[in-house]
Amino acid sequence: MSAHVFGPEQFQAATHVSRETLDRLRLYAEILLRWQSRLNLVAESTVPELWHRHFFDSAQLVDLAPAEARRWADLGSGAGFPGLVIAILKEGNAGFEMHLTERIARKAEFLCEVIRETKAPAEVHFGRIEAFKPLEAEVVTARACAPLARLLEYYQRHSVPAGLALFAKGRNVVEELTHAEADWTLDAELIPSRTGGGGQILRVRSAQRRPNG
């Protein structure tokens, strides 16, 4: 299906979310569009594809992590993708909490407004990722946040020992992996994105810096 005709109804059909969850996501989308002209939260060219390019692209990560994982951290959340979408999808899971990190004040304000309005089980941490105390997440996510080598450092810092990372990456991910593996020993796999366009999701089960790294 073309991304241009992928709206809320198509999202619901693809993810099987409840009507209540879809309504929360609709509200999120409305708030994002209100803020977009002031803050440029997403690339303007992707606004017509919001539900496919951003919401569905984020939602696909849920099935790639253990269902029992309750503490997640999203690095460099920006407009809330993927972390805030995942938090809304997981709202009914007892004990679930999403920790969103954002260093730009206005974007942090936007995230806080969406959380207030949608009642998403999420918390915003304002500041630089490397400055936060370890978030001890079972799942760490990131999308368009930083080069892989730096993401691995953040993952190692903010994950529990057996924690998982899910990094949304583009066409150059193999090159990034080759570069990162010079300094890191990884247990990782690449999964093609369900939204197409050459996107890949890097699922990392462990990352250990090499002695010379």
Q: pLDDT digit string (tens) for 156-205?
A: 999 999 999 999 999 899 999 999 999 999 999 999 999 988 899 999 99
Sketch the domain layout of the chain as residue ranges: 3-209
* Alpha carbons 120 and 10: distance in angstroms, whole number: 22
The pTM is what?
0.95
Task: Give 4's pLDDT tier (boundaries 50, 70, 90).
Answer: low
Tell me the C-alpha to C-alpha distance, in Å, between residue 88 and each of 10, 21, 56, 82, 93: 17, 7, 13, 10, 10
DSSP string, 6-26: --HHHHHHHH---HHHHHHHH
* Alpha carbons 191 and 202: distance in angstroms, whole number: 6
* Alpha carbons 76 and 148: distance in angstroms, whole number: 13
What pLDDT score was predicted for residue 213? 56
What pLDDT score was predicted for residue 5? 84
Q: Which amino acid is at 19?
A: R
Model confidence pLDDT, tens digit, residues 106-154: 999 999 999 999 999 999 999 999 999 999 999 999 998 889 999 999 9
Cα dihedral 24→4→50→44 (10° resolution):
-150
What pLDDT score was predicted for residue 2? 47
Sheet of 71-75: strands edge to edge? 122-126, 97-102, 71-75, 137-143, 159-169, 200-209, 184-192
Q: Is the peptide bond before 82 cis (omega within 30 degrees of 0)?
A: yes
The CATH number that domain 3-209 falls under is 3.40.50.150
Q: What is the mean pLDDT of the chain?
A: 95
* Alpha carbons 78 and 103: distance in angstroms, whole number: 9
Model confidence pLDDT, tens digit, residues 44-89: 999 999 999 999 999 999 999 999 999 999 999 999 999 999 999 9
* Alpha carbons 193 and 160: distance in angstroms, whole number: 26
Task: Give 101's pLDDT tier (boundaries 50, 70, 90).
Answer: very high
Cα dihedral 205→149→176→128 (10° resolution):
100
- Taking 90 as the threshold, does the pLDDT of residue 91 lie above it? yes
Q: What's the rounded mean pLDDT across residues 90-118?
A: 97
